[in-house]
Structure 1
């Protein structure tokens, strides 16, 4: 059966007694003894009752404890199964969700620009889905290797004035939740998302304003390792006139007040971060069960 092109990346109590309203009942019967054998003529029933009561309490207590332990096991299993289900659902999005849902033709970024200005990005090219060969600089490829590469999706956008171009990517990994958490921790601890030798590569599409968007034109970038889905989201931005950049700057730094680099002054950090954040939000909306989608 031929896949629908729009879905195909290859094609594109209280009681009264408690308040004293009932008098206590006092019994003057013969007291029970605990350290003497039953006297002749006594049946020994109290002793047997106490023994049975103690046994019943033991059984009840053991049952409660066992139930609590079993409940915790079941809860743990349920949480683990839910996590696996969520990851499995996210892992298949690259071929089960339409291109226009993951990378909308236009993306509105309210307050995403410098000074809280609105931004509007228009998609100008979508790369065919691929593996990760040639998509990353060698050191970034090595840093991402522990989570593997199941599929890579990329699209390039331009701003409303066609002054800037930004490639945004979704790397679908082969990793489980523990591996993604480990990678995220490493990126944060070692500042891997700020190193210029770990910048993502752009996608330059011929016959578009991004035709000259090559490695030398990279000005600002962001890399986000998700821990609730097996996906790495990234974006890299530059000028549409293909000018080279001597001092690229990570988006977080370029967005800081007072940043003086050319990339910061042009707002290219906002371009990369703003677009990546919105594509990530769209991805999260897609990670829903069929019942959630229909509700």
Structure 2
């Protein structure tokens, strides 16, 4: 039999019945048999709403929930412990009605100052202001400060070498002339001189005194032309001393000439040296002091390498210094300190620092004389 003859068409699946209606598993309705098909299920009536729980009225005197619960918690604590907890004491606040608007405004107002409180004049307990007394004190302080600044400026200007007020110069000019015999030698020529940034390249220098010459006149102390140039000022006394540097490689003679000239004569002499540049001429060099038994024993005219001459226009003084090598070597081309201390100088006095030695020692001896002269002028006044 063929396959086409036996084919009866597609099979149809059996119909699936709908699920049975919901049946509770517990309760009275669980034993009942379901209704065969009684039609649509009636809707379940809504559950009646639960009436709200009547609220307990707050006791009189409390208007907010936080105060109400705080009071009940405090009462419970007192019943159990017999005392109020510290935290509740701090949390409790006074009622708003206890503080009046006037009291609150008074609390916000700034406190009056505790010091220098002055009541208005004309009221009881008023005290007059003390401004006139304060003004007088301030004026006196300004006057004292002004006088101190003027005096300090005058003294500083004179110590620095600049011309000060006429009264200060007149008071110190005459006193300076007698310093050579009234002060100890250690004051005029200190045993040690310190020169901060006084060496080549800004290096510090230190010089030790090795000899002091007896005070003498100016004969044989200068080359002939220098003696002739200084002759108009006169020579009352000459003081000299020898110093060596910290390495004992250079020796320096420093001298102080006390002149007989007045202020006009010293000013004219300073002007001539500056205008004609007499302090830079090799034929106007000071001579060294040869101290036997020291490193300056071989320091003669042929060993001079550099020198410095300073004519003070406001004091009867001429201060000079001349330097050389401590080993006694001769210097063929001496050079003034003003040139040997220039930046980039390549001469032997410049590279060895002999120009800085002459200028540095002369500057510090000048400062020592000016300091003592200023003190003598103050004592004379």
Structure-2-length-normalised TM-score: 0.55
Write the deviation string for residues 154-190 of structure 1: whole angstroms up to 9, x where unpaired: 0000001100000011000000010001010000111
Equivalence for 2:176 = 90
Contact in 1 for aligned 2:175/2:376 (Cα 8 Å): no
Q: Pick from 241, 265, 274 the counterpart of residue 155 of structure 1.
A: 241
Shift of 1:113: 0.5
Equivalence for 1:219 = 305
Equivalence for 2:31 = none
**Residue 359 of structure 2 aligns to a residue in which SS?**
helix
Give the 5 Å matches for 1:207-246: 207-246=293-332
Q: 1:108 to 1:186 in 2, by over 3 A?
A: same
Shift of 1:275: 0.7
Give the 5 Å matches for 1:98-247: 98-247=184-333
Distance in 2 of aligned mates of 1:291 and 1:238: 36
Indicate the RMSD between aligned Cα atoms, in angstroms. Answer: 1.8
Write the deviation string for residues 176-217 of structure 1: whole angstroms up to 9, x where unpaired: 010001010000111100000000000010110110000000
Distance in 2 of aligned mates of 1:147 and 1:276: 20
Write the deviation string for residues 234-268 of structure 1: whole angstroms up to 9, x where unpaired: 00000000000100000010011111111111010
Q: Answer 1 or 2: higher relative contact order, Cα 8 Å, separation at least 6.
A: 1
Shift of 1:292: 3.8
* Aligned residue pairs, count: 217
Find runs of 4+ consecutive structure 1 residues off by over 4 angstroms. Answer: 79-82
Structure 2, gaps ≥5 residues long = 1-164
Distance in 2 of aligned mates of 1:198 and 1:235: 13
Shift of 1:289: 4.4
Distance in 2 of aligned mates of 1:80 and 1:260: 43
Distance in 1 of aligned mates of 2:349 and 2:328: 14
Contact in 1 for aligned 2:175/2:377 (Cα 8 Å): no
**Residue 260 of structure 1 aligns to a residue in which SS?**
coil
Contact in 1 for aligned 2:323/2:354 (Cα 8 Å): yes
Equivalence for 2:153 = none
**Residue 139 of structure 1 aligns to a residue in which SS?**
helix
**Residue 345 of structure 2 aligns to a residue in which SS?**
coil
Q: Quick check: which has more Rg, 1 or 2? A: 2
**Residue 374 of structure 2 aligns to a residue in which SS?**
coil
Write the deviation string for residues 76-120 of structure 1: whole angstroms up to 9, x where unpaired: xxx767544322100000001110011001111111100111111
**Residue 178 of structure 1 aligns to a residue in which SS?**
helix
**Residue 332 of structure 2 aligns to a residue in which SS?**
coil
Distance in 2 of aligned mates of 1:157 and 1:265: 19
Distance in 1 of aligned mates of 2:240 and 2:214: 8
